[in-house]
Amino acid sequence: MSGYIEGILVILLLNIVFAYAVYWPLAAGQLNLGVAGFVGIGAYASAYASNEYGVPPYLASLGAALVTFAAAIIIAVPVLRTRGIYLALATFAFGQVLHSLFLNLDVVGGAAGYPVNAYIGIGGIATCALGVFLVTLFLDRTRFGLNMVAVHHDNAVSDLFGINVRLYQTLAFAIGAGIAGLGGGLYGHHFSYIEPQNYTILFSIFVVLFVLLGGTQTVFGPLLGAIFFTLLPEALRASEEWRYAIFAVLIIGTMILRPQGLFTVHEIRIFRRLFDRGTPPGRAHG
Amino acid sequence: MADVLCLEGISKSFGGLEVIKNLSFAVARGQRTALVGPNGAGKSTVFNLISGVYPVTAGRIRVNGRDITEVPSRLRMRCGVSRSFQNIRLVPHLSVLENVMIGQTPRISGPADILYPLRLVRGSRWQREALAALDRVGLAEFAGSQAHDLPYGVQKQIEIARALLGGADVLLLDEPAAGLNAQETEDLMARLESISGQGATIVVVEHNMQFVGALCGHVIVLDFGEKIAEGTPAEVRREPRVVEAYLGVNAA
Ligand SMILES: Nc1ncnc2c1ncn2[C@@H]1O[C@H](COP(=O)(O)OP(=O)(O)OP(=O)(O)O)[C@@H](O)[C@H]1O
Ligand SMILES: [Mg+2]
């Protein structure tokens, strides 16, 4: 595999991981603009563990996922008291606080950045990305996933039907944070260097953008969004001066034409119809 | 204890406006009861108070003899009351089957049930049970349809199937016949009779007095949050206050 292709593949796989970090809270109706903060915690915590204590990098990254999961449960207490746009602002503020914390933490290099000694290659990243996707896919098909949809759509009715709304909201937030932490650990150990500038609001917005454009009605939307957003700028490389303009036009076009995202429940139903034995295409699926 | 649902002196105020006034009534097990009254009389509010959407200002609510007044709304279905809504409250992009399976939540116990891939495994116990509930309201053929593709009246019936699955003793149905034509209303009536014949206690809010007369043996009439009559359909129809409330004659 050429270095160029491998480089793009790594970015793609990491973007898939980050996509699900944003998807989980979105699946419960929360716009988390602080995802970069969780990625940063994961990157720094796992790098510190492997540099200072010789923890194997995979273990350090999985440990980082647990740390960010637990941190998110605590952070969820104040953050989930807010709703809608205020929740987005609260997570944004949280991300900013963490960014300045990273800038001032001298044990991990502060603004100068922090070299990471141990290395995780593309194979390890691919395994983790696949794992994140499969776990999300599985959970979505369980009653946990069904109840999450219910909570997102209507808190009050979910509550009346016995669903612990606050617990589901907290878990969605924390699972997303755990995935972000894992992604952070993988990132640091692959690029061997982390710095606070990696974990800013721009990063959060970028991931949120491609997840929303991919679609959050199904678990395939984030995957599609990540693929689209990683590969499209590369494909547009040919027209160097126009690529960002074309990219912007495509984004706006998608928002107008497909407000629910590129991949929705509707596409799933079309696939089902095509593959269902004995049900000719076009007939209502019963 | 023959009364499965019992309201004792219930009052409810919204910011100084008393919309339910000292309301008491009891519903016997297996009975089919109608809660009727003009628009804004407080019928839906009574359902909201029983299911715990908001707390009562005064009074007690008992289900199966147990005082549930202080039980959080999330746990009330486990105490035996389930409901449908006046305005449809389904998840529009989920299938009908998935929507009704949400109604099973009060009966799940432990992580094995929560992590069961019920949207993956065809023919699981949960699916078969949900299909059976849909069948009881005559909607099994729509199991795979998306809820928002179906007519208003059908969506209201889906809510009944969902309410059935919670395993409750009392079903509170808010205007179940809204959006149905005459034939569909008759079908619904037959189905509700059979559901109550199998042991469920049904309380309906309904404007269609013919429907009420044919389905229910027990009618409670509300006006401005007050109970103005109670009895069989024939009895309440003879009450002067009911006639006034319905004809809009000023009692004062
Ligand atoms: N959450 C609330 N806050 C303030 N007032 C409310 C609230 N819910 C209901 N009300 C008021 O309580 C009164 C009774 O409303 P309710 O919806 O129970 O009437 P209803 O008998 O169900 O009427 P309809 O036949 O139109 O459905 C109305 O005056 C309504 O405005
Ligand atoms: Mg009403």
Q: In this predicted model, what pLDDT tens digit does every residue of B126-143 receive, in sequence order? A: 999 999 999 999 999 999
Mutation pick from A139, A160, A169 vs chain B, by most beta carbons of B within 10 Å, is A160
From the list B227, B176, B181, B240, the residue with the least C-alpha distance to B203 is B176
pLDDT of residue A242: 78
Taking 80 as the threshold, does the pLDDT of residue A66 lie above it?
A: yes
pLDDT of residue B170: 96
Long-range contacts of A262-265 (CB under 8 A, 24+ apart): A262/A213, A262/A214, A262/A215, A262/A221, A262/A224, A262/A225, A262/A228, A263/A214, A263/A215, A263/A217, A263/A218, A263/A220, A263/A221, A263/A224, A264/A215, A264/A217, A264/A218, A264/A221, A264/B93, A265/A217, A265/A218, A265/B93, A265/B94, A265/B146
Alpha carbons B152 and B147: distance in angstroms, whole number: 10
Show residues of chain B in contact with A277, CB under 8 Å.
none
pLDDT of residue A1: 66
pLDDT in tens, A255-279: 888 888 888 888 887 877 777 654 4
Taking 90 as the threshold, does the pLDDT of residue A122 lie above it?
A: yes
Q: Is B248 left (phi over 0), alpha (psi -120 to 50) or beta?
A: left
Residues 94 through 113 of chain A touching chain B, CB cutoff 8 Å: none
Question: pTM to 2 decimals?
Answer: 0.91
Interchain CB distance below 8 Å, A285 and B74: no
The per-residue pLDDT of chain A, averaged, comes to 90
- Which positions of chain B have pLDDT values less than 70? 1, 247-252
| CA–centroid distance, residue B42 to ligand 1 (Å) | 5
Show residues of chain A in contact with B120, CB under 8 Å.
138, 141-142
Lowest-pLDDT range of A140-149, A194-203, A249-258, B66-75: A249-258
Instruction: Count CA atoms within 13 Å of residue A102 on its CB side.
Output: 26
Helix axes A220-235, A3-27, angle to 10 degrees: 140
* Per-residue pLDDT band at A98 (split at 50, 70, 90): very high
